[in-house]
Chain A
Amino acid sequence: MERKETDMDGIYLDNNATTRVDDAVVAAMLPFFTAQFGNPSSMHSFGNKVGLAIKKARMQVQELLGAEHESEIIFTSCGTESDSTAILSALRASPERKEIITTSIEHPAVLALCTHLEKEGYKTHFLKVDEKGRLDLDEYRKLLTDKVAVVSVMWANNETGTLFPVEQMAEMAHAAGIPFHTDAVQAVGKVPIDLKNTKIDMLSLSGHKLHAPKGIGVLYLKRGVRFRPLLRGGHQERGRRAGTENTASIVALGLACEQAMQHMHFENTEVKRLRDKLEAGILAKVPRAFATGDVTNRLPNTSNIAFEFIEGEAILLLLNKFGIAASSGSACTSGSLEPSHVMRAMGIPYTAAHGTIRFSLSRYSTEAEVDRVIQVVPEIIAQLRKLSPYWGENGPAEEPEKAFAPVYA
């Protein structure tokens, strides 16, 4: 794929954080700020055309998700809104049920909501993961009782790209009479999805993860699933999400979904090949580094590498100096004191958890960019290890915890 012109020079490998809006997508949305500014709810012709454009976008999203009906697509403002709407709807629809099942490595959009709901009297079961970030389905099966109001499990983990068996888990929840929601923000557009042949009741997606703008999301709601809106008011989205439609962004998301559909094969062949090359190239040159997550079952664009005995934010700052954008699960990048909850849940030792770096590619990533990163990363890692009290001349200090023994710890 040809490299797009970007306004900023640099190598962008942080596509799980957000993506560049495709030029054609920007062009498609622009008329909806000016000539097509009408409110789709209006009776006059200013609104009518806009209504038709939204209908088309809804069908484009439907196509990418493999949804049976276009009315199952509800436009929202973001992935987080979709997650909150889904989970809170399920709780309100079954007020007598006071338990929630989710995983310990969800995105904060689900995790923080569930933690908050615990304060309101709900019991949340956070499914544990093993060292590769995989779930124990036997543990899950035992929790599926009639006390559970909703199951919410992410399709793909944002940090490691590890895929969860959501289709199988939805079948299990369905058999137990429990609605199943999946946060598929990272998965949509990267792995094939065919919702009509699953028992998934609700799914969240976010536009800006697939080359649409920020501020637009979707909640997929299977026909017949009991629903209670988060926002009540006007009749928009058939009364399931009140508020005037974000028309330009809805149109943009529609086209972005169509493009994602067209590039699905490319994503799973060429993007995957570049990701694999990047990961193998770095691991071949850097000692004491390893890929985290389930590397045989993950998103095609994501590689998460742990570099031992150094800290992630320092790596990012040096990468940035070379014009390379990535992200880290280190505590310092978030301002918290603990490294990423995903790394801790997988039991990644602290010697490595603070030094995890996520590279996430897109269909715009190039071979030359990957080669450059493979060249730069080993130098950066060596430079920081030279500063680290845990690193000796040519490797980690022997028994690092003893070599560096503070008077307190």
Chain B
Amino acid sequence: MWDYSDKVKEHFFSPRNSGALEDANAVGDVGSLNCGDALRLMLKVDPETETIRDARFQTFGCGSAIASSSALTEIIKGMTLDAALKVSNQDIADYLDGLPPEKMHCSVMGREALQAAVANYRGEEWKDDHEEGALICKCFAIDAVLIEETVRANNLSSVEDVINYTKAGGGCSSCHEGIEEILSKVLAERGETFNPHAVVLQEEAAGKPAPGKMNNLQRIKRIEMILDGIRPQLQRDHGDIELVDVDGKTIYVNMIGACSGCQMEAQTLQGIQAKLIEDLGEFVKVVPSRAGSYARAASHV
């Protein structure tokens, strides 16, 4: 059984705003019978103010698809269209106290239905911009299509690269076989062979400073540099990280924005820690500078 939050269950068992909206002037249909999820979002928009007066939905789908639809209508009622367009799928998931990684696509469908409805109201054409593949990384909810496209676009050749570019595989690491398969396939397309040992050789050649040979300042600079490398991924999820202090083996950081309090925070920190350990060549512990959030992170491990 899925680990659904009480909020998800509540919105599934008693969905808000379900059923047809007769005088809707903005309708967004996304999904299809084939993919097992379909959502029709119907809005009544005030033409003067572009405010959403009413929102209703009809959904064919699983528990979290219905709950996400219900949450979406509650979130956007009373918003202007421009404000509603800023609602992200993470907002929908947060409203429901989180969704299992396998179910994040349900919240994505909600956001897409909203975009489609607004486009419908404005007489624009809306195109779905992503294709979904089989879920590979369950820690960070990343699917095969995203990994494959990223590998192709950036000429990636190692599992490490994939972790750095997509976060996939940066958590529990049990999906590394799946990532290697994708790498083998894409590398074969460009006439190369996937070599799992290649990374180690490159790193040795790059002459990474050996652990213990750095002074404190060099070490902190190195940590800053590694965090800078991770930062773009966090920012893509509307979050960020800052280095607070380095005390021996313990590295204190602040998670900012969407990363702070995010349900994935513990796993994100673990991933960052793994990256630092590997890059520095020594064991370090990454700890959020807020004590409360550390307790939460620890309880998730």
Binding site for B on A (CB under 8 A): 309-314, 317-318, 320-321, 330-333, 335-337, 339, 350-351, 354, 386-390, 400-401, 404-409
Contact = CB atoms under 8 A, between A and B. Distances in A.
Interface stretch (B54-62, B190-198, B201-209, B254-262): B54-62
A335 B38 CA distance: 16
Given A387-B18, A406-B38, A314 B32 contact: no
B134 interface: yes
A387 B132 contact: no
A407 B102 contact: no
B33 interface: yes
Contact of A354 (B30, B33, B119): B33
Nearest to A320: B1
A94 B116 CA distance: 58
A337 B32 CA distance: 12
A174 B9 CA distance: 54
A351 B35 CA distance: 10
Nearest to A331: B36
Nearest to B59: A387
Given A317-B12, A317-B63, A321-B13, A387 B36 contact: no
A337 B13 CA distance: 23
B78 interface: no
Given A317-B12, A388-B59, A311 B36 contact: yes
27 contacts: A313-B63, A320-B1, A321-B13, A330-B36, A331-B35, A332-B37, A332-B63, A335-B102, A335-B103, A335-B135, A337-B35, A337-B36, A339-B36, A350-B33, A354-B33, A388-B60, A389-B58, A390-B33, A400-B33, A401-B33, A404-B40, A406-B30, A406-B31, A407-B125, A407-B126, A407-B128, A409-B34
A387 B12 contact: no
Interface in B30-89: 30-40, 58-66
B15 interface: yes
Interface of B: 1, 9, 12-13, 15, 18-19, 29-40, 58-66, 100, 102-103, 116, 119-120, 125-128, 132-135
A257 to B, nearest CB: 30
Contacts of A314: 12, 61-63, 65-66
Contacts of B33: 309, 350-351, 354, 390, 400-401
B67 to A, nearest CB: 10
Contacts of A404: 29, 32, 38, 40
Contacts of A335: 100, 102-103, 135
B156 to A, nearest CB: 21
Given A314-B66, A330-B36, A387 B135 contact: no
B34 A350 contact: yes
Contact of A388 (B58, B64, B126, B135): B58
B60 A310 contact: yes
Contact of B29 (A311, A330, A386, A406): A406
A387 B70 CA distance: 11
Given A350-B33, A406-B32, A407-B126, A330 B58 contact: no
Contacts of A350: 33-34, 36
B116 A407 contact: yes
For the residues of B in contact with A, the DSSP-based class is mixed
Interface centre among A320, A333, A409 (most CB of B within 10 A): A409
B155 to A, nearest CB: 24
A399 to B, nearest CB: 12
A408 B127 contact: yes
Given A337-B35, A337-B132, A390-B38, A406 B116 contact: yes
B116 A332 contact: no
Contact of A311 (B30, B65, B116, B127): B65
Given A331-B36, A332-B65, 16 more contacts: A317-B9, A317-B13, A332-B62, A332-B63, A332-B64, A336-B134, A336-B135, A337-B134, A387-B60, A388-B58, A389-B59, A404-B32, A406-B30, A407-B30, A407-B120, A407-B127
A333 B19 CA distance: 24
B32 A390 contact: no
Contacts of B119: 407
Contacts of B19: 386-387
Contacts of B31: 406
B197 to A, nearest CB: 20
Contacts of B29: 389, 404-407
Contacts of B9: 317
Contacts of B64: 332
Contacts of B59: 387-389
A387 B134 contact: no
B105 to A, nearest CB: 8
Contacts of B63: 313-314, 317, 332
Contacts of A351: 33
A311 B32 contact: no
Contacts of B1: 320
Contacts of A388: 58-60
A407 B118 CA distance: 13
A405 B30 CA distance: 8
A310 to B, nearest CB: 7
Nearest to B70: A387
A311 B60 contact: yes
A69 to B, nearest CB: 40
Contacts of B61: 311, 314, 332
Contacts of A312: 62
Contacts of A311: 36-37, 60-62, 65
Contacts of A333: 62
Nearest to B181: A119
A314 B18 CA distance: 15
A310 B65 CA distance: 12
Closest 10 CB pairs of A and B: A332-B62, A335-B102, A313-B62, A389-B58, A406-B29, A389-B40, A354-B36, A331-B36, A388-B60, A408-B128
